[in-house]
Structure 1
C-alpha cells in the first residue's frame, strides 16, 4: 500500500452541479508550481505524496473546482507513466480516469470523452473485444486471484457433489471456461463415473459456443459424459429469466457458480435479492461466490475513489513484486483490464457504472437474508490454495486468511478477494 489516508472532509454526491470556475487562491498555489514538477516533500514518501495529490484532484473535481483540477491533472500526467514503477503506473491510470470524469463538466471535451470511454469500456469491434478477452487470459496467468477463486470454488463443488451420479453446474458469465478443466479432470477420476452438464451464461453466443466446444473436446479426451448448454443473458437485471431459461432435470445435482459476477447486479438491490431467491428456489447443493474485497459501490464519489486507490495500489504493487520490470504481460493487464475497471469506478456514473464491488460482510448479509447458510470451506481447500501460492506465486507478499468459514486473499495487509460457499 502507498499509505493510509483518512476519510475526506467533503461528502459530495455523484453528480455535483458545475459552478463558475473560481480563480485559484494562494491557499492552493502549492499544488501548481510553475515548473510543473512535484516538489520535494521532506520525509513524505513519493508514493504517499502522489496518493495525496490524486485524492486532492478528485476532491477538486467533486467540488466543481474545474480549473484547479485541470492544472493538477496536468502535473499528475507529467509525473506518471505506464512504463514506470508501480506508483507511476497507478497514478497514470487514475489520472486518465480523473481526466475523463473532469471532461463530463467541460463541454469542449464531451465528444472526445465519449469516444475514449467507448473505446475502453464498451468494445465496438471484434478486435477491441479480442484485446479485452486476451487481457483476461493474461490476468489469469500472471496473478493468483482468479486461479485462487476458481480452485477454491471447484473444491467446494467437488465436496458438495461427492457420490452423485449426475452433476449440473450453472456458471454465470463462463467466459472462456478456464475454471472447469481441473474440475472435469477430478470428476473423471471418480468411480462410478458421473455425468456432467454445464450451463454457461454470457452475452456473446459465439464465445459461448467456442467455450462449449473446447470443454466438450476436453471431456471426450477424459472419457467423461458431458453436455454444454449456452445461455444468453442480455438483461442480467431480470432474475426471473434465469429460472425460466435453465433446464433442470430431476436426477441431477445442481451447483451454482458466481465467480466475480454478483456485483454486476448491485445497482438494484431488490432485483439482486430476487435473483438470489430464485437461485435458492432451484435447490442447489452448493453456491460458490467470489468477489473483490472492496467497497466500490459507495454512494459518495470520494469514498469510492479512496477505496479504489487503496485496492489497486495493492494490485499494482503485487505485479511489481512478481513480474520483471519490462513485462509485456503486466502492461497489458494494467492498461486493458485494471485500466478499464479503474475508469469505470472513477469516471462512469449511474447505470453505466458496472464495477460495484462490496465487501464480504455485505454479501454475507444479502445471502443470509435470501435463505442461504454459509458452508465452511474445507482444510483441504485451504491447503490447495496455499500450495497454489507457494508453487506459482512464491512471494511473501501474498497473504491467505480464513474468516467466517471463508477465504480471503490479499497483498501485504490489504485484503483483495474473497471466496465463500453457500447452501
Structure 2
C-alpha cells in the first residue's frame, strides 16, 4: 500500500506540482505522504514542506477514509516540520496543534479539554474500542472479587468514569450488596470531582454504599516526574485489610514507556499492594520505535484500519465520526508523528512486550473466562454488527481487530 519516490524526483517536478491538480488516487496520495515523511527524515525540509502543502490542498477531513487519513497524517507531518524549526527553542509542536477550523481551539486550554472529553464520549458510543476493554475488564473484576463485602478499585486515568456504572449495577444486584470504594487517578481536579459526583449519584440511585477518592497528579509534560509522583502518591493510598483490591489500567501505562525502568518500578509498586486482579487494556501496535520513519509507517498501517472501520459503520457526514477522527485520533496521530523525546506520550507497544514486563514485575496471567468472551462477542454483534470486526483469544487474552489488523488487547493479571 505504501511506496516511495526520491527527493530529487520531487525537486524536478515542483513546477508541475504547483499547478492545480485533482485529488490524487488513494495509492498516489499514500505514496506522496510516505515520500514527505522520508524527506523529513532526510532533513530535506524545503521539499517536504512543498509536498505537504500539495497534500494539504488535496486531502479532506470530510472525504472517504483514505482522504481523512491523509488529512490527519499531513497535519501531523506539518507539526513535525514545525518541531524542526523550533527544536533549538525546545518548543513542543503539539502546543500549536489546532483542531479543525470549525473549532479553532488550542489543544492546551480548558475549552479544548471539554471538546476532548466530548470526543472520548463519541468514541465510546460509535466504536467498540473503549467498551471492548472496559466490559472485559469489568467481567474479570467481577469474577475474581466473587462478591466480597468490601471492594476497592484503583483506576488509573479514570477520565469520565464511564466504565463503572455497569459494574456498579452488577454488584448492586447481590444481596446484601457490597460496599465499593474507587480511588480515581487523574491530572484535572475539576474533572475528577465531576466524575465522582456522577458516580456517587448513580450509586445512590442503586442503594449502593459507595465512596470516591480523587488522587490528583501534577499536570506536567515531564513524564519521568509523573511516574515518580505516581509511585509516591500510590504509597498514600489507604489499603484496608478487609477490602478486595482491583487495579484497572485502561489505555494508560503506555504513556510511561519513555522510561521502561521507571515503569517497571511502578508495576512492582502495584504488585506490592497485593491486588486480587490487575486489568490491562492497550493498543496492539508498536508506536514506540525510536526511528521516526518506521514509527510513521506503523502508524499509517494501524490507523488505516481504524479509519476504514469508522467508514464502514458511520455515514460520511456523521459529526461524531469527524470529531473522533480529527480530535481524538488526530491528537494521538499528531503525538506519534510530530513529537520526540519526553514530549511524546503515545508510546504503544504490542501485547508481547507488556507480557514480558508484567511477568518480570511478578505478575501471572489470569485467563479471561468463556463468559467474558461471550459478552465481548455479544457486544460486537448487537452494537457494532459489521463483518469487519474480529475477536481473537490468544494465550488467555482477548484481541479486537479490523480485517487482518489487530487493534486492541485486554488481559488480566494477579
Give the alignment's TM-score, normalised by structure 1: 0.89
Q: Does 1:289 align with 2:289?
A: no
Rounded Cα–Cα distance in structure 2 between residues aligned with 1:326 and 1:122: 24
CA distance in 2, matches of 1:359, 1:278: 22
**Structure 2 match to 1:129:** 113
Aligned to 2:97: 117
- C-alpha separation between the residues in 2 aligned to 1:84 and 1:125? 29
Pairwise CA RMSD? 2.5
1:25 aligned onto 2:25:
no
Task: Please say if residues 188 and 222 of structure 1, whose CA atoms lie closer than 8 Å, have aligned partners that are also in contact.
Answer: yes
Q: 1:339 to 1:260 in 2, by over 3 A?
A: same
Closer/same/farther in 2, CA of residues 324 and 339 from structure 1, 3 Å limit = same
**Structure 1 residue 48, shift from structure 2 partner:** 3.0
Q: Are 1:166 and 2:157 counterparts? A: no
Q: Give matches, 1:16-415, under 5 Å.
A: 25-26=8-9, 29=12, 33-34=16-17, 35=19, 37=21, 46-106=25-85, 116-117=96-97, 123-234=107-218, 235-238=225-228, 239-415=230-406
Aligned 8 A contact 1:136 1:337 in 2: yes
Post-superposition shift, 1:306?
0.6
Q: Which stretches in structure 2 are left out of the alignment for 5+ residues? A: 219-224
What displacement does 1:65 show? 1.0
**Any idea what SS the aligned residue of 1:176 has?**
coil
Residues 36 and 78, structure 1, Cα contact 8 Å, conserved in 2: no
Unaligned 5+ residue runs, structure 1? 11-23, 41-45
Task: Report the alpha carbon displacement of residue 240 of structure 1 after superposing the two structures with TM.
Answer: 2.6
Q: Matched residue pairs, number?
A: 401
Q: How far apart are residue 371 of structure 1 and its match? A: 0.4
Change (3 A) 1:167 1:115: closer
Asked if 1 retains the 8 angstrom alpha-carbon contact of 2:105 and 2:112, the reply is no
Structure-1 separation of matches of 2:20 and 2:40? 19
The 1:172/1:48 distance shift into structure 2, 3 A limit, reads: same
Give the match's secondary structure for 1:310: helix
| Superimposed CA distance per residue, residues 43-94 of structure 1 (whole angstroms, 9 cap, x where no aligned partner) | xxx3333222211110100001112111211221122001111111110110
**1:84-108 Cα distance to aligned partner (Å, 9 max, x none):** 1111111011001101111233479
**Over residues 288-337 of structure 1, what are the superposed CA-to-partner deviations in whole Å (9 max), with x where a residue is unaligned?**
00001111101111111011111111111111010111101111111111
Q: Is the 8 A contact 1:181 1:215 kept in 2?
A: yes
Distance of aligned partners of 1:196 and 1:61 in 2 relative to their CA distance in 1, 3 Å threshold: same
Name 2:222's counterpart in structure 1.
Answer: none
Mapped to 2, the partners of 1:278 and 1:115 lie a distance apart of 33
Q: Is the 8 Å Cα contact of residues 37 and 78 (structure 1) preserved in structure 2?
A: no
Indicate if the aligned counterparts of 1:293 and 1:360 stay in contact, CA closer than 8 A.
yes
Q: Secondary structure at the match of 1:237?
A: helix
Deviations 1:158-185 (A, max 9, x none): 0010041110000000011000000000
Structure 1 residue 390: Cα displacement: 0.6
Question: 1:32 Cα deviation (Å)?
Answer: 6.8
Distance in 1 (alpha carbons) for counterparts of 2:13 and 2:22:
10
* Contact map agreement 2:22 2:58 (CA 8 A) in 1: yes
Q: Counterparts of 2:162 and 2:79 in 1: how far apart (Å)?
A: 33
Between stretches 217-226 and 25-34, larger displacement belongs to: 25-34
1:60 and 1:409 mapped to 2: Cα distance?
34
Conserved in 1, the CA contact under 8 Å of 2:245 and 2:275? yes
Task: Report the alpha carbon displacement of residue 30 of structure 1 after superposing the two structures with TM.
Answer: 5.5
